[in-house]
Amino acid sequence: MKILGISSFYHDSAAAITVDGEILAAAQEERFTRIKHDANFPTNAVKYCLDHTGYSIDQLDAVVFYDKPLLKFERLLETYYGFAPKGLASFIKAIPVWLREKMFLKRIIKEELGKIEAFDRRKLKMLFPEHHLSHAASAYYPSGFDNAAIITLDGVGEWATASICKANGKDITIEKELKFPHSLGLLYSAFTYFLGFRVNSGEYKLMGLAPYGRSGHADIKKYEEIIKSELIHIYDDGSIWLNQKYFNYSTGLRMVNDKKWSKLFGIDKREPESDLEQQHCDLGLAIQNVTEEIVIKMAKHAKELTGSTNLCMAGGVALNCVANGKLLNEKIFENIFIQPAAGDAGGALGAALAAEHIYFGKALKKSDSDRLNGSYLGPEYNEQDVLKIIRKYEAEATKYSNDQLYNKVAEILADGNAVGWFQGRMEFGPRALGGRSILGDPRNEEMQKKLNLKIKYRESFRPFAPSVLKEDVQDYFKLEGESPYMLLVQEIVDNRKEPIPADYHSLGMKEKLYTKRSDIPSVTHVDFSGRIQTVDKRTNPQYWQLINAFKELTGYALVVNTSFNVRGEPIVCTPEDAYRCFMRTEMDYLVINNYVFNKRNQPEWLEKDNWQNDYKLD
């Protein structure tokens, strides 16, 4: 059974291909087009999936789109009708697009596939599972479990904004759904907007900002009380009701009514790129706390409904790794699996797997581990591809054997250098997991600042993740189990913490940021936490061997890991993408396969500042 899954036309378009339940390839379109969150039909991702497997479109048993467009159109019409006469401007903008394009997706998809290669359009089977079923399938079927509770949380699919499902064997049953306009994802996005970040892009910034809030301070409690009394009602089962008087997303062109929110919270909407003040941090912590409360209540109810000891999670809210860490610590479930491509991109994979197991009825095999292969499902490049870049740019590089390479790069990292690390297959999902990463020494007090300001060109407050050897994680973090996909935040162990000033919690953002908190300062956030990636020798032997070499050299079994890109740019895909990013920034070294590039030895780069014109700030 050969199935191609597609997500497209909203944000984070992607394609994935499965064969008899095995996930062979998956990638986001943005990686190929270099347009972040690209929503266009995933032509390049589809080409990659077909090329990687060798199949033609005529050989596919089905092409599956990740939601039901007509059901979504129904929701739009009913929403506009329900809020009329409000929403006229939004209606005039949205409806013609639907009538011209999205109402006829089956035809459009066939036309787009026809641009890739000729095929018999009459024989092509096309399927359209519901959006939240695609999310649920993307988490459960690869999890390795043979039964589970499944929680999906996002902005909105067709009607559903959250769901609890029960999975047993190959079957998934929807137990409960929360319907639009009441949505935890949209609530969090509303605060993302009000605090000056971009919706559907900056939610993770809000999550990183929240720890700068003054935990326990009266202002936090005040903001939480306002949220719960005016904006939202939270029920015991984790479902919510949102007061639409304060929101515009149903029919407007903005998330919220700025004036009403300013009056409600006593602060103005923050303009993008303006200074962050303590009140912004405090409000960020308040909505993060409310989000965690909702997620934990929903998880408890999911346990009651299903009786399973396993939990799977997907949807954009499942990328809130702080909430995930709090949920793990509640010990409601024995095992938790979170889809690394939890957003719409992962819907492509879920759509294919839903068709495989639900529509075609293929039995699910139990597995001792997840089926995602570390999420390394994208393209990889060989030595000839590297040599092309060396010749094209007249670059200088030194080739090392494997044993030499890991020791050499460990030494480079220990000397305080930032290293672009490009190895093997590209990751599927928003996290760089050691395939397309920028690395640094976690002991270096200046590394966090250097990576943010001189390489990523992004806000200084944002934290970096530690990649730690799986077998050594408990020497550094209070984590039981593993976190292969960088989706769990946990506190560092007490014996690594440094004493902090008595007035630490009342310090300003920069003072707090640059206070040394541990012996691994570049991966210790201001609340003593880290967003952990545990590295397994089986799924990424090259990355494991590099970190192990760093451990043998320094005694520390972890490195700083951030995605290989600048702000506003998708993660690099090809060796050429990597070399251009390397030369445009103040990165010190680049490693592609077994080749090491030293910045000091490269020819002058005449396009050094052009990245600022190429990529919109996210």
Does residue 258 fall inside a structural domain? yes
The amino acid present at 323, given as its one-letter code, is A
Distance CA 82, CA 164 (A): 27
Q: How far apart are CA 350 and CA 139, in angstroms?
A: 7
**How many other CB atoms sit within 10 Å of the CB of residue 150?**
32
**Per-residue pLDDT reduced to its tens digit, 564-582:** 999 999 999 999 999 999 9
603 shares a domain with 461: yes
- Cβ-Cβ contacts under 8 Å for 588 (sequence gap 6 or more): 412, 417, 418, 419, 598, 599
**Residue 287 within any structural domain of the chain:** yes
Could you give the CA distance from residue 577 to residue 579 in angstroms, rounded to a whole number?
Answer: 6
Give the pLDDT confidence score for residue 100 in this predicted structure.
62
Does residue 574 sit within a domain? Answer: yes
Cα separation, 162 vs 340, whole angstroms? 18
521 close to 500: Cβ distance less than 8 angstroms: no
Length of the chain in terms of residues written: 618
Q: Convert 159-184 to b/e letters by CB count within 10 Å (16 or more is b).
A: bbbbbbbbbeebebebebbbebbbbb
Read off the amino acid at residue 140. Answer: Y
Alpha-carbon distance 374 to 540, whole Å? 7
Would you say 191 and 198 are in contact if contact means Cβ atoms under 8 Å apart? no
Q: How far apart are CA 82 and CA 284, in angstroms?
A: 31
Same domain, 317 and 395: no
Spans in the chain with pLDDT lower than 50:
none
- The answer on 160 and 131 residing in a single domain is no
Separation CA 284–CA 223 (nearest Å): 9
Q: Are 540 and 559 in contact (CB under 8 A)?
A: no
CATH number at residue 101: 3.30.420.40
Tally the domains of the chain. Answer: 3
C-alpha to C-alpha distance for 271 and 610, rounded to whole angstroms: 25
DSSP string of 84-130, one letter each residue: TTTTHHHHHHHHHHHHHTGGGHHHHHHHHHHHH----TTT--EE---
SS3 304: helix
Residue 305 shares a structural domain with residue 437: no
Query: Which residue range is the domain that position 487 belongs to?
Result: 383-614
Q: Where are the alpha helices (DSSP H) in 141-268?
A: 184-194, 203-209, 218-226, 258-265
Structural Rg of the chain based on CA atoms: 24
For tokens 């902005």, name the residue: 155
- As a whole number of angstroms, the distance between CA 277 and CA 212 comes to 10
Does some domain include residue 445? yes
| Residue 269: CA count within 13 A, CB half-sphere | 18
Q: Is the peptide bond before 85 cis (omega within 30 degrees of 0)?
A: yes
Token pair in block for residue 67: 């939601």
Check whether residue 247 and residue 176 sit in a common domain. Answer: yes
The stretches of 355-473 forming alpha helices (DSSP H) are 383-392, 402-414, 447-450
CB–CB of 300/333 below 8 Å?
no
**Which token pair is 408?**
């050499």
- Token pair, residue 531, equals 């967003």
Evaluate whether residue 197 is within a structural domain: yes
Q: Is the dihedral of CA 234, 239, 241, 247 positive or negative?
A: positive
CA distance 306 to 310: 10
* Cis ω before 181 (30° cut-off from 0): yes
pTM over 0.85: yes
Q: Are residues 248 and 393 in the same domain?
A: no
The encoded tokens of residue 41 equal: 């039909």
Residue corresponding to tokens 């479902």: 239
- 330 and 394 fall within a common domain: no
Instruction: Report which secondary-structure segment, H or E, holds 22.
Output: strand 22-28
**CA nearest neighbour of 448 among 437, 462, 428:** 462
CATH number for position 440: 3.90.870.20
Q: How far apart, in whole angstroms, are the C-alpha atoms of residue 328 and residue 251?
A: 37
Domain membership of residue 376 (yes or no) is no
Q: Do 530 and 607 share a domain, yes or no?
A: yes
Identify the residue whose tokens are 């972040």.
36
Is residue 377, in this structure, part of any structural domain at all? no
Q: 190 with 214, same domain?
A: yes
Please give the Cα distance from 405 to 593 (Å, whole number): 9
> What are the pLDDT digits (tens) for 511-540?
888 899 999 999 999 999 999 999 999 999
> Could you tell me if 224 and 234 are in contact, meaning their C-beta atoms sit under 8 angstroms apart?
no
Same domain assignment for residues 156 and 108: no
Please tell me whether residues 408 and 544 are part of one structural domain. Answer: yes
336 within 8 A of 122, measured Cβ to Cβ: no
For residue 378, being part of any structural domain is answered with no
28: three-class secondary structure by DSSP: strand
Q: Are residues 358 and 423 in the same domain?
A: no
